[in-house]
Amino acid sequence: MDLASSGESEDWGPFGQPLFDDPSSRALARVGVLDVGSNSVRMVVFDGAARSPAYFFNEKVMAGLGAGMADTGRLNEQGRERALAAIKRFQLLAETMGIAPLTAVATAAVREAEDGPEFREDVLRETGLRLWVIDGEEEARLSAQGVLLGWPGAEGLVCDIGGSSMELAELTGGKVGKCISTKLGPQRLMTVKGGKKSRKAAIQSGVRELVKTMDRDCKRLFLVGGSWRAIARIDMDRLGYPLTVLHEYRMSRKALYRTIDHIQDTPIEELRARTGIGESRMALVPIAAQVLKELLRELKPGDIAISGYGIREGMLYQHMPQNIRDRDPLIEACRFAEKKDARIPGFGRRLYDFVNPLFTARNAPDARLIKAACLLHDVSWRAHPDYRHEVCFDEVTRANLGGMTHRERIFLGVALLHRYKNSRDGSRFTPLFELIDDDTLRWAEILGKAMRFGAMLTASEDQAMGELRCFAKKQRLELRLAPGTRDLFGEVAEARLTALAGALGAADVVVKGR
Final residue in a domain of this structure, among 110, 133, 156:
133
Where helices occur in 377-490 by DSSP H, the ranges are 388-398, 406-420, 430-433, 438-454
List, for residues 38-73, the tens digit of each pLDDT value. 989 999 998 755 577 778 899 999 999 998 888 899
Task: Answer yes or no: is 36 within a domain.
Answer: yes
As a whole number, mean pLDDT of residues 90-97 equals 93
Kindly list the distances between the CA atom of residue 141 and the CA atoms of 85, 192, 227, 291, 307, in Å, as whole numbers in the listed order.
29, 28, 19, 21, 15
Burial (Cβ within 10 Å: 0-12, 13-18, ≥19) of residue 207: buried
CA proximity to 344, closest of 248, 460, 241, 225: 460
Secondary element (H or E) of residue 29: none
Q: What's the whole-number average pLDDT of the chain?
A: 89
**363 CA to centre of own chain:** 26
As a whole number, mean pLDDT of residues 378-388 equals 94
| DSSP state at residue 102 | P
> Are 272 and 347 in a shared domain?
no
Q: How confident is the model at residue 355 (pLDDT cuts 50, 70, 90)?
A: very high
- Looking at the structure of the chain, the number of domains it has is 3
> Are 427 and 297 in a shared domain?
no
Task: Give the CATH number of the domain where residue 49 resides.
Answer: 3.30.420.40
Q: Is the dihedral of CA 81, 86, 88, 91 positive or negative?
A: negative
Final residue in a domain of this structure, among 133, 149, 173:
133
Identify whether the C-beta of residue 154 lies closer than 8 Å to the C-beta of residue 170: no
List, for residues 238-266, the tens digit of each pLDDT value. 999 999 999 999 999 999 999 999 999 99
Give the domain extent around 507.
328-512
For the CA atoms of 150, 155, 156, 160, the dihedral, rounded to the nearest 10 degrees, stands at 20
As a whole number, mean pLDDT of residues 300-321 equals 90
Listing DSSP states for 104-167 in one string gives: EEE-HHHHH-TTHHHHHHHHHHHH----EE--HHHHHHHHHHHHHHHSTT--EEEEEE-SS-EE
Q: Which amino acid is at 327?
A: R
Which of the residue ranges 239-243, 339-343, 399-403 has the most confident prediction, judged by mean pLDDT?
Answer: 239-243
User: Could you tell me whether strands 250-251 and 303-306 are parallel, antiparallel, or unpaired per DSSP bridges?
Assistant: antiparallel
Kindly list the distances between the CA atom of residue 433 and the CA atoms of 220, 286, 397, 425, 430, in Å, as whole numbers in the listed order.
26, 33, 11, 11, 5
Position 216 scores a pLDDT of 65
Separation between Cα atoms, residue 38 and residue 311, nearest integer Å: 13
SS (H, E, C) 201-224: HHHHHHHHHHHHCCCCCCCEEEEE
Identify whether the C-beta of residue 434 lies closer than 8 Å to the C-beta of residue 441: no
Task: Give the CATH number of the domain where residue 200 resides.
Answer: 3.30.420.150
Task: Answer yes or no: is 452 within a domain.
Answer: yes
Three-state secondary structure call for residue 8 = coil
Q: How confident is the model at residue 152 (pLDDT cuts 50, 70, 90)?
A: confident
Position 323 scores a pLDDT of 83
Task: Give the CATH number of the domain where residue 474 resides.
Answer: 1.10.3210.10
Q: Give pTM, 2 decimals.
A: 0.88
Final residue in a domain of this structure, among 116, 133, 150:
133
Task: Answer yes or no: is 11 within a domain.
Answer: no
> Are 263 and 351 in a shared domain?
no
> Are 55 and 171 in a shared domain?
no
Position 14 scores a pLDDT of 46
